[in-house]
Structure 1
């Protein structure tokens, strides 16, 4: 077995070298380090996290409406029975002859919770706003 001696020959005595021992470790070179690469699953996770963050922001900071405790005044209405051949347009024109018929039709549809203007059924009674 062979050995190599460096520096002084005092290293042969057990108490001669009292300096702490340094251990070397490899440090990666920053110039040759590879960039982070995401797998397909990793990309899906990052995308879903971004979508969740945007959705949360929309819910938290989006516009909202608040219902108050006090009720507003109910509009004055009258009840009209739908006869054969009647259309919502004709009923609105009779109820508000000097106003905008389209707005009157929209008000009647909202007031009666109709899905659309053609949802009238013969013989039904609907509420119609009273105009002056």
Structure 2
């Protein structure tokens, strides 16, 4: 049987640390990688920024509508019938809901609703 003995080699050369050196090409690649998230964020902002612009429709000028206070027991349908008895109540309810930005047809007593000028008592 044979034995193996391990010994460290006797080295008189001191261990030197190597320093990382970047070439010009390496610096360009590193700078590009660092700038990539910023460029992507700017691109998303430019492309998606137009979605915040409102429509080109003009809003109702000030003073072109009357207001009605909702009484207990009133509904949009009854208000529509009282302000425009000759019109289809469905159309009037839709216009009142749109003007007041109502998400549902429910209204509360004491709530003030704007009525379009076409159905106001002054016209």
**Of Structure 1 and Structure 2, which has the larger fraction of its residues in helix?**
2
Largest Rg, 1 or 2 = 1
Pick the TM interval, shorter chain: 0.3 to 0.5
